[in-house]
Structure 1
Amino acid sequence: MVLSLDRLTKTFGSKIAVDHLSATLQPGVYGLLGANGAGKTTLMRMICAILEPSSGEVLLDGQNVSDMGADYRDLLGYLPQDFGYYPSYTAKDYLEYIAVLKGIPRHAATAKIKELLNVVGLSEVSKKKIRTFSGGMKQRLGIAQALLNDPKILILDEPTAGLDPKERVRFRNLLSSLANDRIVILSTHIVSDVEAIADKVFVMKQGSFVSQGSIRELVKEAQGHVWEIAVNPSETGRWEEQMTVANLRREDDKTILRIISENSPSESATCVPATLEDLYLYHFPTERSE
């Protein structure tokens, strides 16, 4: 199975949301990393055939997905940033409803729903109304509905928003286990989620891929641009105003600043190994990842 993006473009009036993107995806986990407004959601909606491209096309094994209709939708699992649900439904009722919409036979749906409620940790609250759920619980329910039809292409837009650290780890482990025979696309601005499981990462900025490759390949781009410097605590504010400070920590009576900069910020600065988070801040210096 090969999913291809061929010069994919989407414009809204004079605004270019996605700009001539091309990529080839095979089974595995792909991270789509970028700041809010980078075009990630627009791209994913085109991959899901919800939005029609202004130009270019999405191909599955050489066939335009727009021409495949229901055959393509049957292969998809999609979790948008804000998925629709009925507050008066229980979790079990909601998944049964979605199973009907997806054309899943009742006997198969019953077993799958029980399995997924357990996987996302909602078995004990399966008969509670969704309106009583926390944000993280609702998000886990959304993940379950995306997996209902055992999709071959799983597309998740900010799936870990609202999840606590333990839930995020469980979710990442689940994605890793699913990726052997399917394409998983994970859009996020949370660097640690991508770093933990992605086979390949696309860094998206202003509708374009500014970098793409494995974690190791991408981190190399930031090598030589990450520095540490010890300063007096009273000077921290001045450095944060002038530089992109990725992190700071206290050591004895000094504050150690981790700075992203093309050149050494000071004669006393030391160049240190880069991480994916450093690369993110290298491309998005005004953003703060998690």
Structure 2
Amino acid sequence: MTVVLRSVAKRFGGVTALAGVDLEFGSGVTGLLGPNGAGKTTLLRLLSTALEPSEGTVTVFGRAAHGTDAERTAVRRGLGYLPQEVAFPPGMTVFGFVDYIAVLKEWTSTRARHAEVRRVLDVVGLGDLATRRIRALSGGQRRRAALAQALLGEPALLILDEPTTGLDPEQRVALRSVLSRIAVNATVLLATHQTEDVAALCDRVVVIAAGGVRFDGPVRELVATAEGRVWLCEKDHPGAQAAWRTGSGRHRRVGGAPPPEGEPAEPTLEDAYLLMLGTPER
């Protein structure tokens, strides 16, 4: 396994962000779902070596992610990390920013480094904007520039925190295509609120809530937990765990007692996720 967590806990003062987490990750794409404050970002920061656990062990590539300096350096050399927020140096061009990160990642040959920078910019669709200042980019374009630096060197472990924030539907589909190719030979961990991205891309989903793992398994198995618990109705009925009026004018009802004249609906990952959390996310 590329990543192994054993009895991992993380506390910030008197606040417990994670407790008793045992997980293993191998090749493929795993989606991390959970409400705000659930511990997803903390988990990713532990894997990236940006944080140390309060308890337990984190092993990446067979090395202690928080061991000796040599072990941490070896882990960092093999991973790409896209944090939720990226601070861009002022005045840099797109090419200059990604090239700067490549230097930090020890790409010493200028020729090879520049070829790699051009490659990852093409992958995220920013090849034509390489000379544009980052401050002149849209939010979605900045997010793609941040993603480009994470892809440098085709890392064996790719850690992505809310990678589709600010991307339009076409860009999100393009990102899925990129990640599906990478995941053939790499481990990709994707934390997101976008259940449709997880349903479309991920082999496995881990639901985290209140600092613990609530579900870990194939996406289809999580969706199956909502079978027989979702209906379409002509009228709204009280008592559902979540309900809303759809664009067709019918009401989608998730959880609760079967409504009168309700028509069973095919559950989605979002339906199952809402039912598992016990509270609506809408």
TM-score, length of structure 1 as denominator length: 0.91
What letter matches 2:255 in structure 1? S
Unaligned stretches of 5+ in structure 1?
A: none
Per the alignment, in what secondary structure is the counterpart of residue 175 of structure 1? helix
1:166 is the counterpart of 2:156 = no
The answer (yes or no) to whether the contact 1:202–1:212 under 8 Å persists in 2 is: yes
Amino acid of the residue matched to residue 88 of structure 1? G
Residues 41-80 of structure 1: matches in 2 within 5 Å? 41-67=41-67, 68-80=71-83
Question: 115-124 or 71-80: which moved more?
Answer: 115-124
With over 3 angstroms needed to count, the CA separation of the structure-2 counterparts of 1:262 and 1:62, relative to structure 1, is farther
Instruction: Please give the root-mean-square deviation of Cα atoms over the aligned residues, in Å.
Output: 1.6
1:282 to 1:242, Cα distance in 2 relative to 1, 3 A: closer
1:31 CA drift (Å):
0.3
Residues 177-216 of structure 1 mapped to structure 2, 5 A cutoff: 177-216=181-220
Taking the aligned partners of 1:280 and 1:214, their CA distance within structure 2 comes to 13
1:29-59 deviation line (CA, Å, top 9, x unaligned): 0100112111100110011111110101111
Amino acid across the alignment from 1:244: A
1:61 Cα offset (Å): 4.8
Correspondence 1:103 to 2:96:
no
Paired amino acid for 1:258: R
Cα distance in 1 between the residues matched to 2:193 and 2:146: 19
Identical amino acids, percent of aligned pairs: 39
* Aligned partner of residue 59 in structure 1, secondary structure: strand
Distance 1:246 1:5, change over 3 A: farther
1:272 positional shift: 2.3
**2:86 is paired with a residue of what secondary structure?**
coil
Tell me the TM-score normalized by structure 2: 0.93
User: Given the alignment of the two structures, is residue 278 of structure 1 paired with residue 271 of structure 2, yes or no?
Assistant: yes
Aligned pairs (5 A) from 1:122-141: 122-141=126-145
- Partners in 1 of 2:61 and 2:73 — Cα distance? 16
How far 1:64 sits from its partner (Å)? 1.8
Q: Specify the SS of the correspondent of 1:274.
A: coil
Q: State which of 204, 207, 229 in structure 2 corresponds to 1:225.
A: 229
Q: Give 1:276 deviation, angstroms.
A: 0.5
Partner residue, 1:12: 12
String of CA shifts for 1:93-117, please: whole Å, max 9, x gaps: 1111111111012222111111111
Structure 1 runs of 4+ off > 2 angstroms?
60-63, 270-273, 283-286
Please list the CA deviations of residues 189-209 of structure 1 after superposition, one character each: whole Å capped at 9, or x if unmatched: 001111111110001111111
| Residue 260 of structure 1: aligned partner | 254
2:90 to 61, 73, 87: 87
**Corresponding position of 2:123:** 119
Between the aligned partners of 1:2 and 1:134, the Cα distance in structure 2 is 35
Report the count of equivalent residues: 277
Q: Is the 8 A contact 1:246 1:281 kept in 2?
A: no
Residue 69 of structure 1 aligns to a residue whose secondary structure is helix
Structure 2 distance, partners of 1:274, 1:242, is: 15
How far did 1:148 drift? 1.1
